[in-house]
């Protein structure tokens, strides 16, 4: 299976320079324009397993603007694996750019109501799916399974610079788990993209426990014992943005030419900015921020912002 390492870049950013902090970004957004970032990492070992075990397809779940849905559809096309997406809620129409692209890439889109979607992990729902889609490998929402975590453990194996702190975005905390599991001696902060994301600490601990018990990761499991989920920078909740955040994204792009996505990496970098301003990050520290991708979501976000006085200004740059 192909592993694609991503570039590591040191970024010149006036605020970090002024605070005497080194900022580096691991550009997983550059892995691929569509299966970008951590969704690629999380799918890689799932795809490998599907090929090895001869499953007929991949079935997975997500919201209408989900990066994971976009990535799974493209990976399915790329590797010749049929994909099925169970999509939450009424906005699951094919006019939205994420689903239109997923559909174009061959994903079978099955919209379900929000109520049905909530039952997606029950035995009854999964049995019904298995009847309709026999012998499909079921990947949880956001690619959040052990294969996903193991894929994210590859990220730091590509880094040979030593850092004091690592920052990453948190949705399901799968990526955070992979980073924590492979970051011995480094402090790791996951910035939650959702309100009240602290409950995800238990997910990280569960994944760490499974990794500790797994033979597959015996050689690579080197956990950090200094990690946290930061809950201050969700900016209104999952998938929400506000004017301050969008203006920050535009300014950050103007200065560094790094495009941030509206759901995750913008909030991570916004958190770093706030923590620098509050002197919560000491002078002399070397920071690694993971750019986990998600740029495909910019177009959908700008559509939702049509009636607002602010927009993400670099949509065209992404194409």
Residues that bind ligand PLP (CB under 6 A): 37-39, 67-68, 142, 144, 169-176, 261, 264-265, 292-294
The residue with its CB nearest to ligand PLP is 294
> Residues 6 or more apart from 308 whose CB is under 8 A from it?
243
- Rounded least distance, CB 25 to ligand PLP, Å: 13
- Rounded least distance, CB 85 to ligand PLP, Å: 15
**Tokens standing for residue 187:** 């402090």
Nearer to ligand PLP by Cβ, of 259 and 293: the residue is: 293
- Rounded least distance, CB 305 to ligand PLP, Å: 18
Cβ–Cβ under 8 Å, residues 98 and 300:
yes
- Rounded least distance, CB 12 to ligand PLP, Å: 23
Nearer to ligand PLP by Cβ, of 68 and 299: the residue is: 68
Nearer to ligand PLP by Cβ, of 19 and 203: the residue is: 203
Q: Among 225, 226, 227, 207, which residue's Cα sits nearest to residue 217?
A: 207
- Rounded least distance, CB 134 to ligand PLP, Å: 28
Nearer to ligand PLP by Cβ, of 145 and 256: the residue is: 145
Nearer to ligand PLP by Cβ, of 223 and 293: the residue is: 293
Nearer to ligand PLP by Cβ, of 271 and 293: the residue is: 293
- Rounded least distance, CB 164 to ligand PLP, Å: 22
């Amino acid at each position: 299976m192909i592993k694609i390492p991503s570039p590591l870049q040191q970024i010149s950013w006036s605020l970090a320079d002024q605070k005497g902090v080194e900022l580096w970004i691991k550009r997983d957004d550059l892995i691929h324009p569509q299966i970008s970032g951590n969704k690629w990492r999380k799918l890689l070992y799932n795809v490998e397993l599907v090929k090895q075990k001869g499953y007929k397809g991949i079935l997975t779940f997500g919201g209408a603007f989900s990066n994971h849905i976009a990535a799974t559809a493209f990976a399915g096309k790329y590797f010749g694996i049929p994909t099925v997406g169970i999509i939450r809620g009424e906005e699951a129409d094919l006019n939205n750019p994420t689903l239109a692209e997923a559909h174009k890439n061959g994903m079978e889109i099955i919209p379900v109501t929000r109520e049905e979607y909530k039952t997606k992990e029950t035995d009854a729902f999964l049995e019904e799916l298995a009847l309709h889609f026999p012998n499909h490998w079921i990947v949880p929402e956001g690619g959040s399974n052990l294969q996903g975590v193991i894929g994210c453990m590859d990220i730091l194996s590509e880094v040979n610079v030593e850092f004091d702190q690592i920052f990453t975005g948190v949705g399901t905390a799968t990526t955070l788990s992979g980073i924590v599991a492979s970051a011995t001696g480094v402090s790791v902060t996951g910035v939650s993209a959702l309100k009240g994301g602290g409950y995800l600490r238990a997910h990280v601990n569960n994944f760490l426990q499974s990794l500790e018990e797994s033979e597959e990761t015996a050689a690579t499991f080197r956990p950090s014992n200094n990690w946290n989920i930061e809950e201050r920078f969700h900016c209104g909740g999952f998938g929400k943005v506000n004017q301050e955040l969008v203006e920050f994204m535009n300014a950050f792009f103007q200065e560094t030419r790094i495009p941030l996505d509206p759901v995750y990496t913008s909030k991570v970098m916004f958190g770093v900015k706030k923590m620098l301003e509050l002197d919560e990050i000491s002078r002399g520290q070397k920071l690694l921020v993971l750019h986990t991708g998600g740029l495909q979501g910019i177009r959908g976000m700008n559509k939702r912002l049509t009636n607002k006085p602010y927009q993400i200004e670099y949509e065209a740059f992404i194409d």
